[in-house]
Structure 1
Amino acid sequence: MTRIAAVHGVLPAHRYGQRELAGAVAALRPGAGQAGALAERFFAGAGVEFRHLAFPLERYPELGGFGRANDAWLTAAAELAEQAAARALDEAEIPSQRVDFVVSTTVTGIAVPSLEARLASRLGLREDVRRLPLFGLGCAGGAAGVAAVDDLLAGRPDGVALLLATELCSLTLRRADTSAANLLATALFGDGAGALVAVGDAAGAALGRTGPEVVATRSRLYPGTERLLGWEVGDSGFGILLGAELPELVRLHVGEEVASFLAAHDLKPGDVTAWICHPGGPRVLDVLEEELGLPATALAPSRASLARCGNLSSASVLHILRDVLAAGPPPPGSYGLMLALGPGFASELVLLRW
C-alpha cells in the first residue's frame, strides 16, 4: 500500500483579520449600501478569523482583469509550491532526485507549462519525472490528488511521489460581482499551498517510513448537480458558482456515501479516529457532524484550520492532515478518513490506517 512519508503546508506572509479584509473588499467594489451590509454578514458568519493573502492588501487594486491576476498567480503560486515541496521532501528525508511522480492540483490560476513543470528544475527533480497536472477539481483536489498518487504507486511499489496543491483564491476576486455566492466566497477562501510525499510498498520498507498508509479511495459524482459548485469563466476571469442548497445536498448524499465507503471495509463512522475533512464552511461541517453522528471533537481540526486561514480549496486537507500528524499520530491500527467535496458536484474519500 501507498504510505505517506511527510506532509507540509505553507501560507503567504501577509496575514489579515477578517474585519480588516471585509473593509478592504468593500473598498474595491463599486457602490456600497445593501451589498456592503450583506458582505459584512457573510464575513462575520464564515467561521474565519484570519486569512493569508499572496500579496499585501494595497497591491490588489492593481490586479484588476484576468490577465494581470493570472500573471501575479504564476509568480506567487510557484514560490509557495516550491516552499511546500522542499519542506515536505526535507521532512521525509527523501532527495528530490528520488521522486518518480509529481501530481499538482490547482483551480485558481492557469499555467502552461503547468506549475510542476515550472518547478521541476528549481526543486531538482529528474528530467524523466512523470507529471500529472490536475485542474478543475476545486476543493476536492487535495484528496483526489492523494488518490491519484496511490494509483500511480500501485504500479510502481519502489516509487516515490510528490503531490502539490496550490491555491491563491484572493486572485479570483470579481469586483463588480455583488451576488451572494461571490460575497460568500470572498468571505471564506484564503491562499495557501500544501505538499505531500508518498512512497510505494517497497520504497517504504527500504526507507523505513512509518506514516499512515492509504487503504482505499473512492470518487463519486452526483448527477444533476453540475451547476451547484464551480467556475463560470468570463472576460473578467473566474466567477464562482456556489449554490445555497449545498449543505442540504451534503445531507442528502454525502453522509450515506461515507457510511457506505466505510462499511465496505467493515467500519462505521465511530471507528474512525482521525477526520481529515475539508472545511467547506461552518454549515457544511455542521451537516457532516450531524449526519455521521460525530462528537464535536471529531471535526475540530477542520474548524481550527478554517478559523486560522480560511478555506484553502484543494490545499486545506493537506494542512489539516499535517495538523493531525503534528498533534501526535493515532495509535497503530487506527483509521483516518480524508473527505473533500468539489465541483461536479462530487466527493472524494481516502481511507487511511496508521
Structure 2
Amino acid sequence: MTRIAGVSGVLPPHRYRQGELGAGLAALRGGTGDELALAERFFAGAGVEFRHLMFPLERYGEFDGFGQANDAWLEAASELAHRSAELALRSAGMDAEQVDVVVSTTVTGIAVPSLEARIASRLGLRQDVRRVPLFGLGCAGGAGGLAVVDEVLAGRPGGVALLLATELCSLTLQRTDVSPPNLLATALFGDGAGALLAVGEEHPAAGGGPTVVATRSRLYPGTERLLGWQVGASGFGILLGPDLPELVRLHVGEEVASFLAAHDLKPGDVGSWVCHPGGPRVLDVLGEELCLPDAALAPSRESLARCGNLSSASVLHILRDVIDQGPPPPGSFGLMLALGPGFSSELVLLRW
C-alpha cells in the first residue's frame, strides 16, 4: 500500500484579519448599502479569523482583466509550489532526484506548461519524471490527487510520488460581482499550497505517515451547475448553489458510511478526520449526518479559522496538522474527505 512519507503546507506572506479584508474588499468593490451589509454578514459568518494573500490587498485593484491576474498567478503559484515541495521533501528526508512521478492540482489559474514543469529544474526533479497535471477538481483536488498518487504507485511499488496542491484563490476575485455566491466565496477562500511525498509498498523509506487503504471518487448526477466556475472575460466567476449543504446531507453522509462499511468500519471507528473545510454549514451537516463529536472536525474548523478555505490545498494542511499534533496510535484509521465541482466527493481511507 502507498505510504505517506512527508507532508507540508505553506501560506503566502500577507496576513489579514477577516474584518480588515471585508473592509478592504468593500472599498475595492463599491456597491450599495444593502450589498455592503450582505457582504458584512457573509464575512462575519464564514468561520474565518485570518487569511493570507499572495499580494498586498491594495494591489488587487490594479489587476485589469483575467490576463493580468493569471500572469500574476503564474509567477506566485510557481513560488508557492516550489516552497511546499521543498518542505515536503525535507520532512520525508528525500531528494527531488528520487521522485518518479509528480501530480499537481490547481483550479485558480491556467499554466501551459503546467506548474510542476515550471519548477522542475529549480526543484531538482529528474528530466524523465512522469508528470500528471490535474485541473478542474477544485476543492476535491487534494484528496483526488492523493487517490491518483495511490493508483500510480500501485504500478510502481518501489516508486516515489510528489503531490502538489497550489491555490491562489484571491486572484479569482470578481470585483464587480455582488451576487450572494460571489460574496460568500470572497468571504471564505484564501491562498496557500500543500505538498505530499508518498512511496510505494516496496520502497524502503519509513516515515511516520499513514498508509492509503482505499479511495473512492463519486459524481452526483444532475448537480453540474451546483459548484464550479463560470469562465468569462474577467476570469473565474463562482458557481455556488445555495442548496449545497442539503445535498451534502442527502448524499455524503450515506456515501461515507457505505465506503467505511466496505472495510467493516463505522464512522465511530475513525480516529482522525481530515475533512475539507468547505464552510461552517457544510462542516455542521457532516458532523450531524455522521454523528461525530465536536473534536472530530476540530482540525478542519481550526484550519478554516486560521487561513480560510484553501481549495485543494486545505486537506494537506489539515493532514500536516494531524501529524504534527502527534501521530495517531498505530493501527488507527483516518478518513480524508473533500467535496468538489461536479458535484463530487473524494474519499481516502488512511491507516497509521
TM-score category (smaller protein): over 0.9
Once the 2 structures are TM-superposed, how far is the Cα of residue 95 of structure 1 from its aligned partner?
0.7
Query: 3-state DSSP class of the match of 2:295?
Result: coil
User: 2:286 maps to what in 1?
Assistant: 288
Residue in 2 that maps onto 1:125: 125
Cα distance in 2 for residues equivalent to 1:210 and 1:138 = 28
1:164 aligns with 2:164: yes
Please give the alpha-carbon distance, in whole angstroms, between the structure 2 residues aligned to 1:64 and 1:43.
25
Q: Is 1:44 the counterpart of 2:50 in the alignment?
A: no
Distance 2:116 2:156 in 1: 20
Correspondence for 2:144: 144
Partner of 1:326: 324
Following the alignment from structure 1 to structure 2, what is the Cα–Cα distance between the partners of residues 64 and 311?
A: 25
The Cα of 1:172 is off from its aligned counterpart by 0.3
Q: In the alignment, which residue of structure 1 is the partner of 2:68?
A: 68
Q: Tell me if 1:297 matches 2:295.
A: yes
CA distance in 2 between partners of 1:308 and 1:17 (Å): 10
SS in 1 for 2:277: coil
Q: What is the SS of the residue equivalent to 1:338?
A: strand
CA distance in 1, matches of 2:238, 2:91: 36
Shift of 1:208: 2.7
Distance, in Å, in 1 between the alignment partners of 2:57 and 2:119 is 27
Contact 2:31–2:178 under 8 Å retained in 1: no
Q: Contact conserved, 1:26 with 1:32, CA < 8 A, in 2?
A: no
Query: What amino acid sits opposite 1:169 in the alignment?
Result: C
Distance 1:232 1:67 in 2: 16
CA RMSD of aligned residues (A): 0.6
Corresponding residue of 2:336? 338
Match of 1:264 among 262, 280, 299: 262
Asked whether the equivalents of residues 278 and 302 of structure 1 are also in contact (C-alpha less than 8 Å), the reply is: yes
Which secondary structure does the structure 1 equivalent of 2:296 belong to?
coil
Residue aligned with 2:144, SS? helix
Match of 2:219 in 1: 221
Residue 276 of structure 2 aligns with which residue? 278
Matched residue type, 2:308: G
1:347 aligned partner: 345
How many angstroms apart in 2 are the aligned matches of 1:159 and 1:248? 41
Structure 2: distance between partners of 1:310 and 1:7: 19
Q: Structure 2 regions of 5+ residues with no counterpart?
A: none
Instruction: Give 1:57's aligned residue.
Output: 57
**Counterpart for residue 13 of structure 1:** 13
Contact 2:5 2:205 in 1 (8 A): no
Question: Residues 224-235 of structure 1 correspond to what in structure 2 (within 5 A)?
Answer: 224-235=222-233
- Aligned ranges 1:184-223 → 2 under 5 Å: 184-203=184-203, 206-223=204-221
Give the TM-score of the pair, scaled to structure 1. 0.99
Instruction: Indicate conservation of the 8 Å contact 2:170/2:189, yes or no.
Output: yes
Report how far residue 31 of structure 1 moved: 2.6
Using the TM superposition, give the Cα deviation of residue 66 of structure 1 relative to its aligned residue in structure 2, in angstroms.
0.4
Distance 1:243 1:48 in 2: 20
Q: Distance in 1 between matches of 2:221 and 2:64?
A: 35
Query: Distance between the aligned counterparts of 2:212 and 2:64, measured in 1?
Result: 42
For residue 329 of structure 1, give the secondary structure of its aligned residue in structure 2. coil
How big is the shift at 1:60? 1.0
Measured against aligned partners, the alpha-carbon deviations of 1:225-276 in whole angstroms (never above 9, x if no partner) come to: 0000000000111000000000000000000000000000000000000000
Q: CA deviation at 1:211?
A: 1.8
Q: How far is the alpha carbon of 1:34 from its aligned partner? A: 1.1
Does 1:84 find its partner at 2:84?
Answer: yes
Q: Does 1:31 align with 2:31?
A: yes
Give the equivalent residue in structure 2 for 1:245: 243
Identity of matched residues, %: 78
1:30 offset after TM fit, Å? 3.6
Q: Deviations over 1:283-303 (max 9, x none)?
A: 000000000000000000000
Name the counterpart of 2:182.
182
